[in-house]
Amino acid sequence: MEGSYIVLPPAAASIYKTSTSEGGGAQLPPPSINSSSLLTGNSFHSNVTVLKRAFEIATSQTQVEQPMCLGCMRLLSDKMDKEIEDVNADIKAHEVCLQHLEQESYNALSDAGFQEEKLRIEEEEKKPNAAIEEAEKQYSEISSEMKDLEIKSKEFEELEERYWHEFNSFQFQLTSHQEEREAILAKIEVSQVHLELLKRRNVLNDAFYISHDGVIGTINNFRLGRLPNVQVEWDEINAAWGQAALLLHTMAQYFTPKFEYRIKIHPMGSYARVTDIHKNTYELYIMLTRFGPVDLFWSTRFDKAMTWFLTCLQDFAEFAISLDKENNVPPEKSLKLPYKIDGDKAAIVPSIVLELTGLGDSSFPTAGSFSSSVRFEIGEVRLEFVHPEKGLY
């Protein structure tokens, strides 16, 4: 690079002269050699390399990319001139301040005064230091409290979260229980309605259907009686007596011990029996053989069984009437048997008496009186178990 120089225009050269005079950047050699000398040196490539290196150095020193156009050079020159003016103004201001300080008089302290001032300043410094130490102590205490509060805050947050989980679980269970309760109440309401319907129903009325087939009374479709023109089998009559015995026994058992069950009815299907107050047992059915009904002796036992059946029926009717009196049932609603029972007789009206017993030509009760009597008998049984004021079943 020896013998190589950069030639700048006069305006550009003045900028670098000013900056180097102020102490910034490296100084370039003066342009004492004209441009013709560049052409007489090394080769053209060397000149280009030198120029490129020179521009790089100029760029690093001025922090402005080189080479610059004339317009940029003028702008930069104006900016640098303004900065120079600002620096000169600052220098003048400092010179003025320095002159004022030189003109002021100073009162120098003696050694004793200096020591006293030093001690005073040290004492004054101790107060801020003590305050700082106290503040640091308080800060450490507050920091410790803050840590404790943060720990407690986390515990409270966990507790709150657990509370809300438990609350939501409780709300869910409460909703489930309320729904279950509503469902149970609805079922109870339906059950109560069903219960009221059942209370108004008479179980015995459903279990023992009493009606009649012409003159002949029926219980659960079993005919209880026979006529010369209506020959009912004795097996069916025995079954009907068994149903009637079961009905009267059921009513008597329901009110035991209130009802004095003196005459015992033994429902045994088609072979019912009756035990009188003397512990004698009679068959409430007709014994059949391969040749037909049995003889007169057996008919007498059957008549006695029917008589004691009527007596038991009369006892239960009197018991039902007494219950009406205890419950203050009005006389018009009290139980009244439509057909009077007197021993072995059931009367429709005072002038007509239908006997359950008596011998006919065939050594059995006459068919007409027997059928009519048992028809009105089971009618009275039905009246007793459907009497609404008794609360039977």
* Residue 287 maps to a domain: yes
- pLDDT recorded at residue 290: 64
Q: Residue 345 in contact with residue 334, Cβ under 8 Å? A: no
The Cα–Cα gap between 133 and 50 comes to 67
- pLDDT recorded at residue 109: 66
């040196």: which residue's tokens?
Answer: 41
Average pLDDT, the chain: 75
Q: What is the pLDDT of residues 170-194, one digit of tens each?
A: 999 999 999 999 999 999 999 999 9
The interaxial angle of helices 234-254 and 367-385, nearest 10 deg, is: 30
Tally of structural domains, the chain: 3
Q: Residue 280 in contact with residue 301, Cβ under 8 Å? A: no
- pLDDT recorded at residue 307: 87
Highest mean pLDDT among 54-63, 68-77, 131-140, 365-374: 131-140
Judge if 115 and 61 occupy the same domain.
no
Residue 42 DSSP code: S
Judge if 138 and 211 occupy the same domain.
no
- pLDDT recorded at residue 378: 56
Judge if 281 and 327 occupy the same domain.
yes
Domain end call among 162, 181, 200:
200
Residues 6 or more apart whose CB falls under 8 angstroms from that of 43 comprise none
* Residue 2 maps to a domain: no
| Six token digits for residue 113 | 């005064």
Residue 356 pLDDT > 60? no
- CATH number of the domain residue 337 falls in: 1.10.418.40
Q: Residue 392 in contact with residue 254, Cβ under 8 Å? A: yes
């989980």: which residue's tokens?
Answer: 165
- Whether omega before 365 lies within 30 degrees of 0, making that bond cis, reads no
Q: What is the pLDDT of residues 192-241, one digit of tens each?
A: 999 988 887 777 777 888 888 887 888 888 988 877 788 888 889 899 99
Region of residue 376 (left: phi > 0; alpha: psi -120 to 50; beta: else): alpha
| Six token digits for residue 126 | 């101790």
Range of the domain at 351: 203-390
- pLDDT recorded at residue 42: 53
Task: Find residue 223's DSSP bridge partners.
Answer: 218
Judge if 189 and 208 occupy the same domain.
no
Judge if 196 and 301 occupy the same domain.
no
Average pLDDT of the segment spanning 37-46: 60
* Residue 163 maps to a domain: yes
Judge if 60 and 139 occupy the same domain.
no
* Residue 4 maps to a domain: no
* Residue 334 maps to a domain: yes
- pLDDT recorded at residue 330: 85
Q: Answer with the residue of higher pLDDT: 302 or 176.
A: 176
Domain end call among 81, 102, 123:
102
Q: What is the pLDDT of residues 115-127, one digit of tens each?
A: 888 888 888 888 8
Q: What is the pLDDT of residues 17-40, one digit of tens each?
A: 444 444 444 444 444 444 444 444
Judge if 29 and 145 occupy the same domain.
no
- pLDDT recorded at residue 350: 31
Domain end call among 69, 102, 135:
102
